[in-house]
Amino acid sequence: MMFFLQTLFKYDRNKALTIAEQLFYNKDEVIIEYILGLYTQTKDEEAESEIEYVQNKNLLGSKLVILGQKRLVSIIHSLSEGKNLQLLTSISTDMINVINDSLSNKENDRDSLAPIQETKRLFLKCIQLLDPNSSDFVYCNKLLDVINNLLLIY
């Protein structure tokens, strides 16, 4: 059913969200699943425009952190199968943006940092799958420093 709603969302957002509501689906979930579907089909430009839609509808915060986590999980899967190491580099900047957006939209308390801490844990798992002599490894460690600094600020 979610696949149907995601497909309908592409052509008629309002109808998809109305049906989702009638079936007791969370409207935000339909939007987020649609964006994730775009990312898994590597239509990043289209997905970026959908993220702008989500931001404009004030659905940011933890929703985009969840999006970042799901993308990281798929990258961990790719890395563990030895597929595309460049995927990790391509998502890193997105992940930093997701964390920045989430932090700027949350109150300064420990509970609000939990999704970000989880994202960091997944990112660490990605790094462990990289060759320590590779440029990706060096790049990711620099990004990890950025994440740690962000978490210290908040």
pLDDT at 133 over 70: yes
Three-class SS state of 49:
helix
pLDDT at 10: 65
Q: Which of 135, 122, 14 is nearest to 65 (CA)?
A: 122
Q: Which of 36, 151, 140 is nearest to 92 (CA)?
A: 140
Q: What percent of the chain has pLDDT over 90?
A: 0
Question: pLDDT tens, 93-107?
Answer: 555 566 666 556 555
Residues in the chain: 154
pTM metric for this prediction: 0.35
Residue 120 φ/ψ, nearest 5 degrees: -60, -40
Question: pLDDT tens, 55-87?
Answer: 555 444 445 555 555 655 555 555 555 555 555
pLDDT band at 18 (very low <50, low <70, confident <90, very high): confident
pLDDT at 132: 72
Count of Cβ atoms closer than 10 Å to residue 65 Cβ = 23
